[in-house]
Structure 1
Amino acid sequence: MSVKRALLLISTAIVGLIIIVAALTSWYTVDESEQAVVITFGHADQTVAEAGLHFKLPWPIQRVEVLSKETFSLTFGYDQNENGEIVAHESDTKMITGDENIVLTDLVVQWRITDPEKYLFNADNPEDILHNATSAAIRSIIGSSTIDEALTAGKAEIEASTRDLLVTLIDKYDIGISILTVKLQDVELPNQEVRQAFTAVTDARETKNTKLNEAQKYRNQKISEAQGEIDAIISIAEGEKTSRIQQAEGDVAVFNGLYAQYSLNKDITKSRLILETLEQVLPNAQIYIMNDNGDTLKYLPIQPSTTKPPVTEGSDKE
């Protein structure tokens, strides 16, 4: 074989290899849960979010970095080993509250890549930056909170404040990610004795609140009952008032009628009033008509008879 023929075969093999490499590296696929960045000579050229088969220039001209669209979780203060066991990092979780108490705090941050180009080129390791920003945010918020707020009812507010501060820090770093949620996993005291003492204080406070709520409920119940009695008394009094007013108006009408009759015939009306008064004052009294001529007292009983007169035989019934 001549040298010329050998060179021709080598050239043909190289061209064929280049064609194969170009064919294999000119196509890439993007899944529904993925997004891709096309990089041309080390510079981000375009971002592809549509799923499917896409064309690019062959390597080494262009290459593709495929990133996930899904939500990631950053655990702060603990992680899981290969056996699935939880490993705590006390150096990360130990923090000082605003009232100078020590607490152990761990949390989970959910985040997502929203700008793939910035995620790839604005920082060497965006996840390390996120971890450090999370540490700064939670320590700042815990440092401005009391131990009662951190361990009891203030957790929701601490979560919201930590998220707001973390979002502000990540926006300043401009590393192409967005914060979705911040969730406190556990906030506790560093040793068992302190935890027991704080638990006893918390239980006493809850008992106090329960008793206060029960007392307030009893107070409201008694006030409602008293108000009901007041309303009932007022209602009865209003009814009695109306009744007496109507009775007085009726008495006035009767008096006015009597006065009109009295004005027409004073003697007859006066006698009638005397008799009616006697009937009311002495309803069971017996009435007699008496005539005294000086020597002998004569009277005539006029009370109604309660027995029938006897009927004699041979009486005339004509």
Structure 2
Amino acid sequence: MTSKRILTIIGVSIVGLIAIVALATSWYTVDESEQAVVITFGDAGDPITEPGLKFKMPWPIQKVEKLSKETFSLQFGYQQTADGEIVSYDNETKMITGDDNIVLADLVVQWRITSPRDYLFNSEDPRELLHSATSASIRSVIGSSKIDDALTSGKAEIEAATRDLLADLVTKYDIGITVLSVNLQDVELPNEEVRQAFTAVRDAEEQKNIKVNQAGRYENQRFGEANGEKDAIISQATGEKIARVEQARGDVALFNELYEEYRLNQEITRDRLILETLESVLPNAQLYIMNDDSGTMTYLPLAGPRQAAPVATEGSDNE
């Protein structure tokens, strides 16, 4: 075989190999859960999100990078192995609160790639950068929170503040990531002794709140009873006032009637008043009206309608 023939065979083989490579690298597929970026001599184009078979220029003119459209989870402070075991990283999660206490806080960040071009070219390792931003965000929020808020009712506020701060940092880094949510998994004290002490303090706080609520209810009850007693006293005093006024008016009317009788018949009215006064002063005494003008003396007892009125004649023991 001549050298010319050998060179021809080699040339045909090279051309055939190039054709095979070109044909093999000119087609690519995009799955429904993927988004693709076509890179032409290092310049990335717009992302391709529609699934299906796609055509491009052969390598090395163009190449394709495929990224997932699904939601990713960043586990901060712990890691779950393939067999389901949880591995904690206390050095990563140990933080100082705003009131100088130490807590362990781990969380999960839900995120998604929203700009494939920025994700591929603006950072060498966007996941590591997101992890660092997450650490800075949660430490900043915990550092401005009190331990009671971090361990009890303030978790929702801490999650929201961390999410907002992390989203701002990721936007400034421009790495093509959007933070969807931040969920605190565990916020606890670093050792059992401290946890027991805090539990005792929290129980004491709950007991204090119970006592304060009971005292408030008792205060309201006593205040209501006092108001009722006050209203009853005022009502009773008002009734007595009205009774006294009406009694005074009756006494005035009676006095006016007596005065009118006295003005018309002074002597009779005076005698009547004397007798009534004697009956009032001496309620059990026998009162008699005696006449000494004639030889026979008659007397009239004023003892009431149930007693008989005896008649005394001259020479009796009652003279």
TM-score relative to the length of structure 2: 0.69
The within-5 A match list for 1:40-55 is 40-41=39-40, 42-48=42-48, 53=52
Distance 1:298 1:226, change over 3 A: same
Aligned to 1:109: 109
The within-5 A match list for 1:141-156 is 141-156=141-156
Aligned to 2:66: 65
2:108 maps to 1:85: no
Distance in 2 between residues matched to 1:47 and 1:72, nearest whole Å: 19
User: What amino acid sits opposite 1:65 in the alignment?
Assistant: K
CA contact (8 A) 1:117 1:176 kept: yes
Q: How many residues align?
A: 294
Aligned to 1:123: 123
Aligned to 2:257: 258
2:212 maps to 1:212: yes
CA contact (8 A) 1:262 1:269 kept: no
Residues 91-149 of structure 1 show CA distances to partners (whole Å, capped at 9, x for unaligned) of: 21122334444332211222233334333332232221111011111222333344444
Distance in 2 between residues matched to 1:157 and 1:109, nearest whole Å: 16
Q: What SS is found at the alignment partner of 2:265?
A: helix
Stretches of structure 1 that go unaligned for 5 or more consecutive residues are 308-318
Root-mean-square deviation (CA, aligned residues, Å) is 4.5
Distance in 1 between residues matched to 2:237 and 2:217, nearest whole Å: 30
CA contact (8 A) 1:30 1:66 kept: no
Q: What SS is found at the alignment partner of 2:75?
A: strand
Q: What SS is found at the alignment partner of 2:83?
A: coil
% identical equivalent positions: 50
CA contact (8 A) 1:71 1:111 kept: yes
The within-5 A match list for 1:280-291 is 281=280, 290-291=290-291
Aligned to 2:312: none
User: What amino acid sits opposite 2:105 in the alignment?
Assistant: T
CA contact (8 A) 1:37 1:44 kept: no
Aligned to 1:267: 265
State the Cα distance separating 1:81 from its structure 2 match: 0.5
CA contact (8 A) 2:72 2:112 kept: yes
CA contact (8 A) 2:37 2:116 kept: no
Residues 177-229 of structure 1 show CA distances to partners (whole Å, capped at 9, x for unaligned) of: 23233222222232223322333333333333333332333233222222222
Residues 22-59 of structure 1 show CA distances to partners (whole Å, capped at 9, x for unaligned) of: 5x53xx5563xx4634425143433455x665865455
Distance 1:202 1:213, change over 3 A: same
CA contact (8 A) 2:30 2:36 kept: no
Aligned to 1:310: none
2:244 maps to 1:237: no
Aligned to 2:313: none
The within-5 A match list for 1:125-140 is 125-140=125-140
CA contact (8 A) 1:114 1:177 kept: yes
Distance in 2 between residues matched to 1:269 and 1:183, nearest whole Å: 109
Aligned to 1:299: 299
CA contact (8 A) 1:30 1:52 kept: yes
State the Cα distance separating 1:82 from its structure 2 match: 0.9
User: What amino acid sits opposite 2:264 in the alignment?
Assistant: K
State the Cα distance separating 1:83 from its structure 2 match: 0.2
CA contact (8 A) 1:37 1:45 kept: no
State the Cα distance separating 1:84 from its structure 2 match: 0.8
CA contact (8 A) 1:56 1:62 kept: no
TM-score relative to the length of structure 1: 0.69
State the Cα distance separating 1:240 from its structure 2 match: 3.4
User: What amino acid sits opposite 1:67 in the alignment?
Assistant: S
The within-5 A match list for 1:8-47 is 22=26, 24-25=27-28, 28=29, 31=32, 34=33, 36-41=35-40, 42-47=42-47
Stretches of structure 2 that go unaligned for 5 or more consecutive residues are 309-319
Aligned to 1:170: 170
State the Cα distance separating 1:90 from its structure 2 match: 1.9
